[in-house]
Structure 1
Amino acid sequence: MERHDALFIGGGWAEPQGDDHITVVSASTEEVIGRVPEASEADVDAAVAAARGAFDDPGGWPDWEPARRADAMERLADALDRRKDRIARLVSAQNGMPVAIAEQLEGVFPSVVLRYYADLVRTAALEERRPGLMGGTTLVRRRPAGVVAAIVPWNYPQTLASFKIAPALAAGCTMVVKPSPETVLDAYALAEAVMEAELPPGVLNIVPGGREVGRYMITHPRIDKVAFTGSTAAGREIAETCGRLLRPVTLELGGKSAAIVLDDADLGATMENIFGATLLNNGQTCYLGTRVLAPRSRYAEVVEAFSAFAGSLQVGDALDAATQIGPMASARQRDRVESYIGKGRSEGARVTVGGGRPSGLDKGWFVEPTVFADVDNAFTIAQEEIFGPVLSVIPYGDVDEAVAIANDTDYGLGGSVWTSDHERGVQVACRVHTGTIGINGYLPDPTAPFGGVKASGIGRELGPEGLAAYQQNQSVYL
């Protein structure tokens, strides 16, 4: 069991000011695998004060030359690389992510994002002079937003933390990061990497905790900006709070994306990519295309192909390299997924594969990969985010109807189009009202803005746009 007794505040290990702890349980075995302190409001105060000092003190982090900050970020990337295998296994043990996926994403992607923003900030213009229309010139300055409260979810704890940490550090912000109570052990590996990289004390602080700790952080009077990834329900509450406080906020929220299979799609050639776009990380991924839209002319074929593929996936312990589908992150999440499977059945959808718990796995929060056929887009399972390995195959007549169904949702985060005609796929993709969409695959890239429309969020992460989210503009009229 991995046990920690301190919090990472002010560049080192700080004794917690409360007595509460977070007990970490393996999603695969239901065994206790860790214990860490749960931050109190007093601990949050200390972390914010440390971040505030690192930001406000003359000569502090925001006053460093961008190249010097970039050097520190690259040291942090190197330190994370040295811990990538440990981080991947910790994440898998906690949230059930198959370790083969964790090694590719949680172990590697954070350092890639850090290096991208380190390179970007070396060349990004922080000032520009614009000729005015009133007889003068304006100096436009891009300054760091300040102290950032970053709240990270459990499904991709290190990857989604890097979406916030990398651009914020590049911009010159300092941070208080709150990992989810389901995934706190990997946060200690991050803290060790920060210490090894010799980031100045207070630049990045970590306070594990639940919703109450998050609420306190968001409303803290010395916080300048909030960055949150999580559910739409929680995002609405945070948006209301930040709106009242006039506090900038970036929200990356839920999704119910469509995977549009066109009538010329070669399913056999693209099924491996379809897995990454529809079932990655046990279906616990916000952008997945869990609504599979199939032409009526090929509906039975598409249902059969997805059912056969889902049924062939290896379900098992997340730490087994052969596992393709691991457990849900918690018993509560498994209950949620199972309740939606029940709703699908009650509304008249037909289960073609899965629909229960896998045999032979008596421990762990497992759900079989499940495919529903005969789904109407108005069904609950087609409108609400399930966050599990459950796909709904919905028929359509022509492309116009497919686009209309894809857009008939409260969400707009991801999506995909599957076709043998690339240009046709692009044309269809551009008609879908969503923040991101892929052609014959889906994989976010650090260079491109990631985020949603409608109930899927506000603002963008990644790309130059992600850096701009942590900057404030100042105009100096000359």
Structure 2
Amino acid sequence: MSKIDIETGYLNRANHFIDGRWQAADGQQRRELVNPYDESGFGSVALGTAEDVDAAVKAARAALPSWSALPRHQRAKWCYAIAEALKEKAELLARLESLNVGSPISFSRMAHAQVAVAITASYGEFLERGGHDEVIGNSRVVREPIGVVGAIAAWNYPLMLLLGKAIPAIAAGCTVVAKPSEVTPLTSMVVADVLQEVGLPAGVINIVNGDGPTVGEALVNHRGVDMVSFTGSTAVGRRIMANAATQVKKVALELGGKSATVVLDDAPLEQAVRGAVRGAYPNAGQTCIALSRLIVPGNLIDQALDIAADEAGRFIAGDPMDERTTLGPLAFAGHHQRVAEYIRLGQREATLIAGGEGLPDGVERGFFVKPTVFGRVDPQARIAQEEIFGPVLSVIAAGSEEQAIDIANGTIYGLNGAVWSADPERAVRAARRMQCGKVDINGGGFNLDAPAGGFKQSGIGRERGHYALEEYMEVKSLQFADADLARASALE
């Protein structure tokens, strides 16, 4: 697969997409790209410079006046055109994510490619529904694009995260400078090809490859950038906030998570525990909303651990391109080493129920981690408090519903959660007490149009749906002499 992809030219061209065309990198530094399945190198990507960022920001600022002036229905047509072109390349996008990230191909098709296409098309639909100014007495409240957006995407869902920022931003009338992760940049190159193919006006979306300390910081600190949207670790999010604060620049942050599944004492235990295990391991656990803690009634802990171990054992590790694979490798060597260190720590802090150190059965190389379950974990243990970002589940016993909720809320994070109960109303009451941006009730499914984001140190702002559009807009009040004039003013 890697040779086929290299022949498509994604790694043998100029390295930044600026002002509607591919441009050579200002600097000469590059980062090798490694296939996480077999650890072979298959190309490299440019590490851009502050000068590359400056050129991209200038292009975005030049494009802003005409783009922001486009009527909503015209911006909707661009969203649809980009979505349709991405859809035609969906299989390529999925295979590139499997090659670069290590995701099983079935997962890549669904969670990487299909979701990215759906996100893009959804903003055409939101724009077609029209904007609604609000009249308050003699004032009309309008929303206007914030300006140039710096969009910094994480390495675990490269395509979805990049489009999940860039598309609502341009739908709102903003222009964008995007920085993909230097670890997993391949699908961003396909996105650039698509933008050229559909003829998106030059400068509306620019893509600069590079690392965080150079390109990321230059983007955050650039005075021509009006807002920064970032997905990644809480530590980096704090730094972005601090840098942006020097210019009082708006930020939207989706950061770390240590999300909990709370199983109440009347829940269908087997269904709940199996669902929790599956919720802990998507994308080999490299998912910010992964349900990495399972909180169960203390009197059911032994049964829960047996079920969890059985479910963990059903995952099949192997070649991401194999349709049978359900557990791929971690994305890169440094992260693999970090997760392995947490597993060693967990063996000192808790009881190992399944998995542990070493490679899974059936694989001989690659950045793989066994699907791991720790039992009888102290809620204050490091493996229960810190984001591991791998296929590692901590099972915690609670003596009551009250204690279960306290444990669920007892971390610095608040991104995701889940509740299981035979009584839906009881589940909702518990969910309302959980301090997180989203809670799945009895296995509730993913909703593309619903908002996603964090409480506490899991972030600021919301992505997806019309909530994301609002993130990229400023609110302005127009004051009229009387209420009749406010209602009669003809504004889009």
TM-score range, shorter chain: over 0.9
Asked whether 1:66 is paired with 2:75, we answer no
Partner residue, 1:458: 460
Q: Which letter maps to 1:74?
A: Y
Partner residue, 1:247: 249
Asked whether the 8 Å contact 2:155–2:184 carries over to 1, the reply is yes
Asked whether 1:105 is paired with 2:106, we answer no
Q: Which letter maps to 1:166?
A: I
The structure 1 residue matched to 2:56, chosen from 37, 40, 47, is: 47
Structure 2 CA distance for aligned equivalents of residues 359 and 295 of structure 1 = 32
Asked whether the 8 Å contact 1:352–1:373 carries over to 2, the reply is yes
Structure 2 CA distance for aligned equivalents of residues 383 and 272 of structure 1 = 22
Partner residue, 1:281: 283
Partner residue, 2:315: 313
Q: Which letter maps to 1:71?
A: K
Q: Which letter maps to 1:50?
A: A
Partner residue, 2:224: 222
Q: 1:16 to 1:342 in 2, by over 3 A?
A: same
The structure 1 residue matched to 2:385, chosen from 350, 367, 383, is: 383
How many pairs align?
469
Structure 2 CA distance for aligned equivalents of residues 431 and 162 of structure 1 = 32
Asked whether the 8 Å contact 1:412–1:455 carries over to 2, the reply is yes
Structure 2 CA distance for aligned equivalents of residues 271 and 68 of structure 1 = 47
Kindly, what percent of the aligned residue pairs are identical? 40
Partner residue, 2:180: 179
Alpha-carbon offset, residue 146 of structure 1:
0.4
CA deviations on 1:345-392 (whole Å, 9 max, x unpaired) are 222x01111102224423210110000012110100000000000001
Partner residue, 2:469: 467
Partner residue, 2:297: 295
Alpha-carbon offset, residue 162 of structure 1:
2.2
Partner residue, 1:33: 42
Tell me the SS of whatever aligns to 1:221.
coil
Structure 1 CA distance for aligned equivalents of residues 317 and 384 of structure 2 = 24
Partner residue, 2:485: none
Alpha-carbon offset, residue 296 of structure 1:
1.2
Report the TM-score, using the length of structure 2 for normalisation: 0.93
- Of residues 35-44 and 307-316 in structure 1, the stretch that sits farther from structure 2 once superposed is 35-44
Structure 2 residue runs of 5 or longer lacking an equivalent are: 481-492
Structural mapping, 1:301-340, within 5 Å? 301-340=303-342
Partner residue, 2:490: none
Q: 1:229 to 1:169 in 2, by over 3 A?
A: same
Asked whether the 8 Å contact 2:270–2:304 carries over to 1, the reply is no
Partner residue, 1:138: 139
Q: Which letter maps to 2:159?
A: Q
CA deviations on 1:105-156 (whole Å, 9 max, x unpaired) are 111111211221111122232533321xxxxx11222110100000000111
Alpha-carbon offset, residue 446 of structure 1:
2.4
Partner residue, 1:400: 402
Q: Which letter maps to 1:287?
A: I
Q: Which letter maps to 1:75?
A: A
Alpha-carbon offset, residue 168 of structure 1:
0.5
CA deviations on 1:73-119 (whole Å, 9 max, x unpaired) are 10000011011111111111111111111100111111211221111
Tell me the SS of whatever aligns to 1:141.
strand
Alpha-carbon offset, residue 282 of structure 1:
0.4
Asked whether the 8 Å contact 1:25–1:32 carries over to 2, the reply is yes
- Of residues 394-403 and 416-425 in structure 1, the stretch that sits farther from structure 2 once superposed is 416-425
Structure 2 CA distance for aligned equivalents of residues 340 and 239 of structure 1 = 28
Asked whether the 8 Å contact 1:34–1:185 carries over to 2, the reply is no
Structure 1 residue runs of 5 or longer lacking an equivalent are: 132-136
- Of residues 368-377 and 437-446 in structure 1, the stretch that sits farther from structure 2 once superposed is 437-446
Report the TM-score, using the length of structure 1 for normalisation: 0.95
Tell me the SS of whatever aligns to 1:416.
strand
Q: Which letter maps to 1:30?
A: E
Q: Which letter maps to 1:290?
A: S
Structure 1 CA distance for aligned equivalents of residues 274 and 470 of structure 2 = 35
Asked whether 1:114 is paired with 2:120, we answer yes
